[in-house]
Structure 1
Amino acid sequence: MEDVLRPIVVIGGSIVVTLILVRVADRTLRRIDTAHPETPLWGLLRRCRVPLQVVLCAALLRGSYDETGLKSVENHAAGIGRALTLVLIAATAWLVVRASAAIVESSYSRYAAGARDAARVRRVRTQVTLIQRVVTAVVIVVAVSSMLLTFPEMQAVGTSMLASAGVLGIVAGVAAQSTLGNLFAGLQIAFGDMVRIGDTVVVDGEWGTVEEITLTFLTVRTWDERRITMPVSYFTSQPFENWSRGGAQMTGTVFFHLDHSAPVEKMRQRLHEILQQCDEWDGRSWSLVVTDTTPSTIVVRALVTTRDADTLWTVRCQVRERMIEWIQAEHSYALPRITTTAPEGREDRQV
């Protein structure tokens, strides 16, 4: 009877204790989260329930599995102990990654809620995202290294390879030159404030918004919802346009090719009326001037300002459409004319 009850008590007791401790921790976090709604940290930490359960259960079983009294356990004690150790290391790394992600996300949420500068918020978001990726990578590397070192064979190999570590480092550095270049470029972008998540950029003639920045690549979402993925090293070695740097305000132009008889002053008044009825116009500046002439037309430029690149496109389209409608209805003579007949009194000569 004892041979049956002992393993049940050891294994079942470990599971029950784990569930009780995790339940207590979850309820405590829930109460703290309810008492302090101003910070989302305690609610985010509740995401660590599953890895915490695995850590506690693996730790309890690792310390008590040899008390089960089962012959199969005694015959394979070394293998079982090593397996539980590997699970414990992996679960601990999982728990650390989840906890660090919760802390970083909570800190960013509190900062974004109280900040007024949208550009600075995007900068902090880019930095914390890359920092979180670095922390995750470091934790994974340390966990994998610790798991490998639990094998005596790997310890011996590691000791013998220390002498050639310098040569291997040089070879690895040359082989991973591109990867390391992108890694350092990602850190440079994060802390050099070159480009941030949410910035409006023009890359290789494509206009879009920076959607994601990792340690190795950057994703730009274009206006037609395509995704352009580029190595981050591109942004440290090639010129690109960042329309959000220094402020999101934009200035745009609309050109009209009209007849020389076009009423420029009336067009100027009409442009002001259109902008006053346009909610996307920020009211900072506007103008309408003749910028060029040709033998048959004049070039009229309308200048408008908006709060960002998205609204600029909308304002330019509205100005273009409503000005053309007004000219057609009120001053159709101002539309450009193309001469298709020969002047009177001129006769074609045939040779």
Structure 2
Amino acid sequence: MKYYKLILSILITIFVLFLEPLLSIFIDHENNVISFIISYSHILVTLSFSWLLIEFIRILKTLFLFRFDIDKEDNLKSRKIHTQVNILEKVIFFVIILFAFATILLSFENIRKIGIGLLASAGLAGIIIGLSAQKVVGALLAGIQIAITQPFRIDDAVLVENEWGWIEEINLTYVVIRLWDKRRLILPSTYFLEKPFQNWTRKSAEIIGSIFLYTDYTIPINVLRDELTRLLNSTNLWDKKVNVLQVTDSKPTSIELRILVSAKNSPIAWDLRVYIREKMIEFIQKNYPESLPKTRVTVKN
């Protein structure tokens, strides 16, 4: 059942609201257990109402994001909305939980007295609390800043710490990156504000992939270009936009060939790169084995 948590939280909240009046009417207050429940029933009300708010916000988020599908090809706007809404949801949850926690603590007389005492020495306490909470507050502010400025979005293709992957989760204090081999790279939000990283799908889901090949100087470049075009036209992985083969470097024993191809999104681009690399190597092995990288040795008498 899709909304069972919301329904359950509503029922529990209603039950807790009527719990104290019912106990007051039907049960003798001399019972210690019942007296304890009545005395602290406001805590149950706070907890149940907080849970109700959280579940209600989750349902609203689900219904709102239903219109924005991030699985379609042109999903830039959808990913932007998903990123902002997810961060906003986490900020609201944090505020609700913090408010509920503070309300429960302040309901105890002893804790209220301690709070008054702390206010008297607020200068020293503020310094101590500020120093201890500096990193936490910094991480929270970094998460909010990422949501507003959006250097990346949900499902963006990124290169971080020499690892290629996709943004899977953006939380208030950390970001989860799904790597190409299914591992998860978890980094604090502050990392992305302090260190450089590559975002390959910042403006569009379309992506250009590169393949590097190393061959002998005798390889016929134009023949390779023709073969690359034939391979691209034979696969539906290519979006028919970018098709480039260039000699980008020359070394004493080989030349460097760079192939650029384009695809609709990063997962397809990965498959296309692998396909082209395999087929081009196979073509060279079969038709120009003498043009594979080799080391030449000259022997003089």
Q: TM-score with structure 2 length normalisation? A: 0.88
| Paired position in structure 2 for 1:181 | 138
After superposition, residues 191-340 of structure 1 pair within 5 angstroms as 191-294=148-251, 296-339=253-296
Distance 1:92 1:273, change over 3 A: same
- List alignment gaps of at least 5 residues for structure 1: 1-42
Task: Report deviation, 1:283.
Answer: 0.6
SS class of match (1:282): coil
Distance 1:257 1:148, change over 3 A: closer
Partner Cα separation in structure 2 for residue 98 and residue 202 of structure 1: 35
CA contact (8 A) 1:281 1:305 kept: yes
Q: Does 1:64 align with 2:61?
A: no
Task: Report deviation, 1:276.
Answer: 0.3
After superposition, residues 39-188 of structure 1 pair within 5 angstroms as 45-70=3-28, 72-73=30-31, 78-112=35-69, 117-188=74-145
Task: Report deviation, 1:304.
Answer: 1.6
Which stretch shifts more, 273-282 or 58-67?
58-67
Task: Report deviation, 1:45.
Answer: 4.9
Q: Which has the larger radius of gyration?
A: 1
Partner Cα separation in structure 1 for residue 84 and residue 173 of structure 2: 14
Partner Cα separation in structure 2 for residue 233 and residue 257 of structure 1: 39
Distance 1:54 1:291, change over 3 A: closer
SS class of match (2:182): coil
CA contact (8 A) 2:142 2:193 kept: yes
Task: Report deviation, 1:69.
Answer: 4.6
Distance 1:247 1:288, change over 3 A: same
Amino acid at match of 1:138: V
| Paired position in structure 2 for 1:31 | none
Partner Cα separation in structure 1 for residue 200 and residue 2 of structure 2: 34
Distance 1:241 1:151, change over 3 A: same
Partner Cα separation in structure 2 for residue 47 and residue 334 of structure 1: 66
Task: Report deviation, 1:176.
Answer: 0.8
CA contact (8 A) 1:45 1:99 kept: no
Distance 1:219 1:296, change over 3 A: closer
SS class of match (1:248): coil
Q: TM-score with structure 1 length normalisation? A: 0.77
Q: Kindly report the root-mean-square deviation, in angstroms, between the aligned alpha carbons of the 2 structures.
A: 2.6
- Count residues in correspondence: 301
Distance 1:297 1:111, change over 3 A: closer
Distance 1:243 1:69, change over 3 A: closer
CA contact (8 A) 2:29 2:35 kept: no
Amino acid at match of 1:137: F
CA contact (8 A) 1:82 1:150 kept: no
Partner Cα separation in structure 2 for residue 160 and residue 301 of structure 1: 70
Amino acid at match of 2:138: G
Amino acid at match of 2:15: C
Partner Cα separation in structure 2 for residue 191 and residue 44 of structure 1: 30
SS class of match (1:284): coil
Which stretch shifts more, 202-211 or 308-317?
308-317
SS class of match (2:40): helix
Point out which structure has higher relative CO (alpha carbons under 8 A, 6+ apart). Answer: 2
- List alignment gaps of at least 5 residues for structure 2: none
Residues 109-148 of structure 1: CA deviation (Å, up to 9, x unaligned)? 23448x9851222222122222212211211222222222
Identity of matched residues, %: 31
CA contact (8 A) 1:44 1:102 kept: no
Which stretch shifts more, 59-68 or 157-166?
157-166
Amino acid at match of 1:174: L
More helix by share: 1
Partner Cα separation in structure 2 for residue 149 and residue 205 of structure 1: 48
Distance 1:57 1:302, change over 3 A: closer
CA contact (8 A) 2:216 2:293 kept: yes
SS class of match (1:162): helix
